[in-house]
Amino acid sequence: MRASHLLAVSALVAGLSLVGPGAASATVSRPDCGVQPAEADAAPAAEPTNVWLIGDSTMANPSSGTTCPVGWGTEFDGLFHSNIVTYNLAIGGRSIQTWLYEGNVTSTIGSNGECVLSSTAYSARWQQVLNTMKAGDYLFIQFGINDGSATCPRHVGTARYQQLMTYMAQTALARGAHPILLTAVAAITCSGSTATKNRGYVTQTNAAAAATGSPVIDLQTLSVNYYTSLGLCPNNGDYTSGLVGQFFCNDHTHFEAYGARRIARLVTGALRTQNIPLAGSLL
């Protein structure tokens, strides 16, 4: 390639000498001729892809000064190359409805069995997503733990749950982003030496995914199978010692940093096995 470049320059010089000094001078004085600065040919830096995480305490960052609980979303950003920027907007204690309508879900149950909204204004967190999410971004949605409360404001019926998850997925799609729906990560409960499932809203999560053509990561099944493989069962209810104590806070539900890292790895493993394009940016 370098030899070809030298031959081309030689031919150009020879050609200029044949047409005379005046013509040569006129040619080289044109501002659009000659070698362009290298930076003029440089491609603009690619805009990073944002990954938005929406969920409850099992996904959320830890509170300041605390070591437990640590949500798996805390560990997520470090598993990707620098072209991925993660925004963990998960908040402890939230159902899908109290996350979406923060402060506007009352403690009153209406005639339809759902918590009454005092306003349909969205939370600042969802408004941030609406204002910022762009084409190519990813939206992870994981609820289904606090939603099962019998009392308001956290209570969410199954039909309402499916409706809200479908709405958020559709909103992402309308912006050219990619929604990924997750079933709720399991707590550690055992039947003998086997971990058991203990979360609801699985059918509704799958239905919302089918309605929007979104992938589902069945984190409940993945986590339960993983607990069994680690030998976390049987368990005598002691969540302070051994591998169980290393994995969980003393409540069988939330994670120490060790457990959060491993749940995050279950999610990224699913990205790979399900051929979700975001997997291409994993370290």
pLDDT digits (tens, 9 = 90+) for 94-105: 999 999 999 999
| pLDDT at residue 238 in the model | 87
User: Across-strand partners of 248?
Assistant: 255
Supply the DSSP string of 79-137, one letter for each residue.
Answer: GB-TTEEEEE---TT--HHHHHTTT-EEEEE-TTSSEEES--PPPHHHHHHHHH--TT-
Strand 84-88, strand 49-55: pairing: parallel
CA 101 to chain CA centroid, Å, is 20
Q: Which of 140, 133, 136, 135 is nearest to 169 (CA)?
A: 140
CA distances 26 to 5, 18, 20, Å, are 23, 14, 10
Q: What single-letter DSSP state applies at residue 255?
A: B
pLDDT in tens, 156-185: 999 999 999 999 999 999 999 999 999 999
pLDDT class of 236 with cuts at 50, 70, 90:
confident
What are the φ and ψ backbone dihedral angles of 67, each rounded to 5 degrees? -110, -10
Q: Report, in this order, helix, strand and coil percent for the chain, each rounded to 5.
A: 45, 15, 45
Over residues 34-63, the mean pLDDT reads 80
Supply the DSSP string of 129-195, one letter for each residue.
Answer: HHHH--TT-EEEEE--SGGG-SSTTT---HHHHHHHHHHHHHHHHHTT-EEEEEPPPP---EETTEE
Q: Which residue type, as a one-letter code, is found at position 14?
A: A
Structure tokens at 32: 């659009």
pTM: 0.85
CA distances 257 to 125, 143, 243, 244, Å, are 24, 20, 13, 12
| Lowest pLDDT segment from 42-46, 117-121, 125-129, 269-273 | 42-46
H or E, element range at 225:
helix 219-230
| Lowest pLDDT segment from 93-102, 222-231, 233-242, 259-268 | 233-242
User: Across-strand partners of 182?
Assistant: 142, 217
| pLDDT at residue 208 in the model | 98
Query: Rounded to whole angstroms, how far apart are CA atoms 25 and 238?
Result: 88
H or E, element range at 216:
strand 216-217
Strand segments, DSSP code E, in 11-99 are: 49-55, 84-88
- Asked if pLDDT for residue 30 goes beyond 50, the answer is no
Query: Rounded to whole angstroms, how far apart are CA atoms 73 and 89?
Result: 9
In this prediction, what percent of the chain has a pLDDT beyond 90? 80
Q: Which residue type, as a one-letter code, is found at position 208?
A: A
Contact between 264 and 73 under an 8 Å Cβ cutoff? The reply is: yes
